[in-house]
Amino acid sequence: MFTNRVTALIGSVSGIIEGFIDPDVEIDVSYQSRLYERDNVEAYYESNLMDLPLGAGMGAEIPMVFDTSVQTPSGRMHHAHISWIVYLLRNGLLGVLLLASYFLVTGSVIARKVFLNGGGTGLLLAGFMQLLSDLVTSFKANVMLESFSILPAVAIAWAMTANVKRSTGK
């Protein structure tokens, strides 16, 4: 039974990857809409290049090249469901850098504690696994920094507290 689940999971992941590589692979309507949101943001920045470094702003509404389900009453697009795209829309390249730095810094602190310092407690491992899950989800769905799981933050706080206690002897 477990083998069947793993095989099904691998098949699903392979199908998603093939969807990016092979344009003839059919994708579901929901994900196609997310790709249209990406295309709308790309089209916006092609004609508004000066907004690219800092973004269009938190309340931005952009014209749609492709119709999506996330339109305002004015018929413009305000939101995207892929984290990297919504950060690019609202905060520009700086926002993408912020999102990437969250994953890099948080992941490196936890990984260093778990793998290099031998402090592989359940909390740290769970925080690391949650961080990886958030990273994967960020490419397919909307994962915002202000709503991330608290587990990675708790794991980092615990790791830093353990380092302070060890260095001060308290």
Query: What's residue 62's pLDDT?
Result: 94
The domain tally of the chain equals 1
**pLDDT per position as a tens digit, 103-130:** 888 888 877 777 776 666 777 777 777 8
Query: What's residue 8's pLDDT?
Result: 58
Look up the domain containing 143 and give its range. Answer: 2-168
> Per-10-residue mean pLDDT for the chain, 170 residues long?
53 55 66 86 90 91 88 89 89 89 83 70 76 80 67 72 57
Q: What's the one-letter identity of residue 123?
A: L
* Residue 71, beta-bridge partner list: 77
Measure the CA angle with vertex 94, ends 91 and 20; round to 5°. Answer: 80
3-state SS, residue 149: coil
